[in-house]
Structure 1
Amino acid sequence: MSNIGFSLIIPTLNAGSSFELLLQSINKQNVVPKQIIVIDSESDDDTANIARKYGCNVIPINRRDFNHGATRQFGAEYTDVDVVVFLTQDIILADENSLEKIIDCFHDPAVGAAYGRQLPHKNALPIGAHARLFNYPPDSRVKTLDNAQELGIKATFISNSFAAYRKAALKEVGGFPDNVILSEDTYVAAKMLLAGWKVYYCAEAQVYHSHNYSVWQEFRRYFDIGVFHGREHWIRTAFGQAEGEGFRYVVSELKYLWANGKCFIPKACLQNLCKFLGYKLGLKEKVLPLWLKKKMSMNKRYWDSWK
């Protein structure tokens, strides 16, 4: 059993009925975190009360103050442990070993960050299920800067839906950025790789997590991803463009849908076109008017602080 001290950090906003399932799955783990910190952005539902019921330390913040990077950095600095584990409110730990497996990655002193495998929820449609199977394969691997040529921008891939960070490494690279539209996890992974740290993908540490996005939701999400890559262009300079990985994804998706849901192929084709257009528009967002950027963005409050 791991002897590494760790805390869980969960940002929340109207987490809904599934939130209790997450907290129940945490209680079933065979390792115990020092703290479960819930940073709640003025939820209108019973999220904060449910968290307190399960012994979580609830920290309320103003909804307008939430930022994907700054809020997580606040959580990391709040707790005095070796490793911080970030979860999103919509995941469920797959078995009692999930936390132990991801914490065990840090027995290698060169590992700065680790993330687990995401399996599709039971209600996942084929498009959402494929996204998890493509991005989270069944075999673990350790990524270093030496893998950059082989993996390209995929070397920086990590997800704060279920990811852990060594606080010393996080501090060395300057922590999470204080104002990003999203992809604060990619930002830190890239910084760690460039600083010589390893990023561990642990396929044995598993959670259930998936989305059944609409075409418009995917457009807006990829617009925001484009904004991130346009503003943090140093990542593409160091690791390569995202377009090649996107092509491999489309080919894989069509093969999967041909075998598991042919009726979803037209939607997938339209969705991929919209993702491509959204990403390209996001890369060029600086020439777009603010009102249009707010319209196309999934993270509208971000634009209140960025002009």
Structure 2
Amino acid sequence: MPFQQPIPIVIRSHNDLAYLRQTLDMVERQSLPVDIHVYDNASTDGSAVFLASRKVVVHEVPKGTYVPGKVLNRAIAEVDAQAPFVVFLNSDCTPVDEHWLAELVNGFADPKVAAVFGRQSPRPDCKPLFAKDTDDTFGDGSRQQYWRHCFSMASSAIRRSVWETLPFRTDIQYSEDIDWTWRIRQMGWNIAYRQNSQVLHSHNYTLREFFRRHYGEGKAEATIFDWSTWDRSLLRYSLLPYMRQVKNDLVYAIKTKNLSIVCQSPLLRGVQMVGRRKGFKAGWAGRETV
């Protein structure tokens, strides 16, 4: 697709100075013209000083005010109103080459596509099971066809005209991207995955952080999707996925000859299962009171 005007890129940041330089360096190397906007959430690690030295537009998000949907809505409203697409990139997502942006926005060649997301690959220092999860979720995209829904805002782009008819929800703290893309799919729009638009992005979570993440995602899931009694049961929602993941981790351990995974998997997947289950129950309870 031909692009004459700079493409607005919204980068959300919070204490990511360790990654900001390499991420901005790679964004500035893109084969298409860019207009970079950084929405910094009260960073205290020197990010503000660093950003002042770069050719980017900085927007402050005051401490204690960050709500994902509100920031996304604000960003789309504030960047170039003539731009048909807005690109989003987390500050710790580093494009692997100068074609990341072109590969991403070319997903809009299909006029029925409302949102596009790209491939995320683990960083070299990523721990094995977290790296496996990242590759399973993204990779060549083959696994996504078996899931109810898949999307990630971390490296993505949306069609402005669709957002104008349906802004992001501002009453949820997790999975606002899943919620928005699920709702537009129900309206007849498509989501495109671009595996050749690649970034490095991964986290080495502590068990507490991993629990918190899945608690938040489980809570959001309960409100986003419709659930039958069977689908939300302990067996279907929690125990069967746990057993399947531990089994797949064992296969991965044998394939990679990393037997330490055999010991790590039951605990990690147990934390994941309990966090997601507790979050789901909290979200479902809130849904029933509405």
CA contact (8 A) 1:134 1:252 kept: no
Seen in structure 2, the aligned counterparts of structure 1 residues 255 and 2 have a Cα distance that, compared at 3 Å, is farther
Partners of 2:13 and 2:41 within 8 A in 1? yes
Map of 1:44-83 to 2, 5 A cutoff? 44-79=44-79, 80=81, 81-83=83-85
CA distance in 2, matches of 1:39, 1:193: 27
Q: What is the one-letter code of the residue matched to 2:133?
A: A
Which amino acid letter does the alignment assign opposite residue 151 of structure 1? Y
Q: CA deviation at 1:284?
A: 1.8
Alignment of 1:279 with 2:276, yes or no, is yes
Aligned to 1:256: 252
Secondary structure at the residue paired with 2:64? helix
Post-superposition shift, 1:179? Answer: 2.3
Which position in structure 2 is the counterpart of 1:180?
172
Counterpart among 99, 106, 109 of residue 107 in structure 1:
109
Aligned to 2:188: 196
- CA RMSD across the alignment: 2.4
Structure 1 residues 271 and 83, CA, compared in 2 at 3 Å: closer, same or farther? same
- 2:120, 2:139 within 8 Å by CA — same for their partners in 1? no
Indicate if the aligned counterparts of 1:102 and 1:116 stay in contact, CA closer than 8 A.
yes
The structural deviation recorded for 1:151 is: 3.2
Q: CA deviation at 1:62?
A: 1.0
1:305 aligned residue = none
Could you list the runs of 5+ residues in structure 2 that have no partner in the other structure?
286-290
Could you list the per-position Cα deviations for residues 113-169 of structure 1 after superposition, in whole angstroms to 9, with x for gaps in the alignment? 01001111011111121011101122579x9xxxxxx6342xx21111101101112
Residue pairs, 1:83-122, within 5 angstroms: 83-122=85-124
Q: Is the 8 A contact 1:90 1:209 kept in 2?
A: yes
TM (normalized to structure 2)?
A: 0.87
- After superposition, the C-alpha distances for 1:234-253 in whole angstroms (9 at most, x for unaligned) are 4x46xx76657666544433
Change (3 A) 1:245 1:72: farther
Offset at residue 26 of structure 1 (A) = 0.6
Query: Per-residue CA shift, 1:195-248, capped at 9, x if unaligned?
Result: 1111001101100011111222211111111111223344x46xx766576665
User: Helix, strand or coil for the counterpart of 2:152?
Assistant: coil
CA contact (8 A) 1:69 1:178 kept: yes
**Partner residue of 2:164 out of 159, 171, 187:** 171
Rate the CA distance shift 1:135–1:109 in 2: closer, same or farther, 3 A: same
Q: Percent identity?
A: 23
Specify whether residues 250 and 186 from structure 1 end up closer, same or farther in structure 2 by C-alpha distance, changes over 3 A only.
Answer: farther
State the partner residue of 1:19.
Answer: 20
1:256-301 alpha-carbon deviations (Å, 9 max, x no partner): 122222112222210111111111111122699xxxxxxxxxxxxx
Where do residues 31-42 of structure 1 align in structure 2 (5 Å cutoff)? 31-33=32-34, 35-42=35-42
Q: For 2:18, what is the secondary structure of its paired residue? A: coil
CA spacing shift, 1:213–1:168, aligned 2, 3 Å: same
Q: 2:262 aligns to what?
A: 265
Letter of the structure 2 residue corresponding to residue 66 of structure 1:
Y
Deviation track 1:90-134 (CA, whole Å, cap 9, x = no partner) reads 111011100000011111110000100111101111112101110
TM-score by structure 1 length?
0.82
1:297 — aligned with what?
none
Q: Whole-Å Cα distance in 2 between the matches of residues 269 and 252 of structure 1?
A: 11
- Relative to structure 1, is the Cα distance of residues 227 and 287 closer, same or farther in structure 2, using a 3 angstrom cutoff? closer
Shift of 1:46: 1.9
Question: 1:276–1:152: structure 2 CA closer, same or farther, 3 Å change rule?
Answer: same
Alignment length (residue pairs)? 274
Question: Residues 186, 286 of structure 1: CA spacing in aligned structure 2 closer, same or farther, 3 A cutoff?
Answer: closer
1:304 maps to which residue?
A: none
What one-letter code is carried by the residue in structure 2 that aligns with 1:217? E
State the AA in 1 paired with 2:282: E
8 Å Cα contact 1:30/1:96 also seen in 2: yes
Matching of residue 151 in structure 1 with residue 146 in structure 2? yes
**In 1: Cα distance, 2:101 partner to 2:245 partner:** 29
